[in-house]
Amino acid sequence: MKNICVIGAGTMGNGIAHVFAQTGFSVTLVDVSQEQLDRALATISKNLDRQVAKGSLTPEVKEKALAGIVTHTSIAAGVQNADLVVEAATENVDLKLTIFRQIDEHAPAACILASNTSSISITRIASVTKRPEHVIGMHFMNPVPVMKLVEIINGYATSAQVSAAIVELSRQLGKVPCVVNDYPGFIANRILMPMINEAIYSLYEGVAGVEEIDTVMKLGMAHPMGPLQLADFIGLDVCLSILNVLHDGFGNPKYAPCPLLVNMVTAKKLGVKSGEGFYTYTPGSKDLVVSPRFLK
């Protein structure tokens, strides 16, 4: 594989483009918004500079990586020479199905189509293409240049050759691939989201406060971040939507989202991105301050 097309230039798309370009691949980055593409290139450049400053990258590799990224606002143009497309657009089923129909129509026949979705069924995405055996999940973690894991999701029809090719490619990127099958939440979110939900239930039922819950998990289980802080970081709306995928997909009440989480999302208290969740966030400050709502 030489030519990689990344669809979506947001948080994940710019990180994915960054690691492919840094490894020497030619990257085409596609987004509907030119402004977002410009922002993504600036972010990639800044993050590469940080690696150069740390000595983990030479200035030559940085320049080569940046020169290896071209941008497009059209999927048809972006995928036309791709060996692999990694879709990292907004998490919305209808949007992803539309994007995959377009990619399938315009990408070369041998091209592998991957999605970075956190929760949408790979089998469902594959079903709208004429090449379901070439469709696979490639779930990078945030921030992509730093996090080692790639959760690789085999859809019902994904071929063994395609899966093996993506495992090999992930290793080439310096990542550690883990192959899992396509069931709701895959592995990462199937295990993480019920833990976050249970932490919210513990708060809701008054078992302990925000600080106590997070401290128990940080100091007792050696988690780098407590589950409530992590939920704020991921976005409470994202957590709710993944819990709903688990709940709908398995039909098991154990995945029912906590009513407190539902209320907070309805009230637009979404965590870091809205300035308030379980904690309050002030631009420029790294202090972890529990939201007044949860102070005793």
Ligand X SMILES: NC(=O)c1ccc[n+]([C@@H]2O[C@H](COP(=O)([O-])OP(=O)(O)OC[C@H]3O[C@@H](n4cnc5c(N)ncnc54)[C@H](O)[C@@H]3O)[C@@H](O)[C@H]2O)c1
User: Could you say whether residue 16 binds ligand X (CB under 6 A)?
Assistant: no
State which of residues 4, 84, 89, 240 lies at the interface with ligand X (CB under 6 A).
89
**Based on CB atoms, which residue is closest to ligand X, 13 or 132?**
13
Q: Residues 3, 4, 5, 8: which binds ligand X (CB under 6 A)? A: 8
Of 19-48, binders to ligand X (CB under 6 A) are 30-33, 36
72 is catalytic: no
Query: What binding mask, one character per residue, do residues 49-88 give for ligand X by CB under 6 A, x or -?
Result: ---------------------------------------x
91 binds ligand X (CB under 6 A): yes
Find the catalytic residue in 121, 189, 197, 202. 189
User: By C-beta, is 59 or 143 nearer to ligand X?
Assistant: 143
| 139 is a catalytic site residue | yes
Sign of the dihedral defined by the CA atoms of residues 149, 289, 262, 90, in that order = negative
Query: Which lies closer to ligand X via its Cβ, residue 179 or residue 202?
Result: 179
Choose which of 4, 5, 6, 9 interacts with ligand X (CB under 6 A): 9
> Can 247 be counted among the known catalytic residues?
no
State yes or no: residue 244 binds ligand X (CB under 6 A).
no
Task: List residues near ligand X by CB under 6 A.
Answer: 7-13, 30-33, 36, 88-91, 95, 99, 116-118, 139, 142
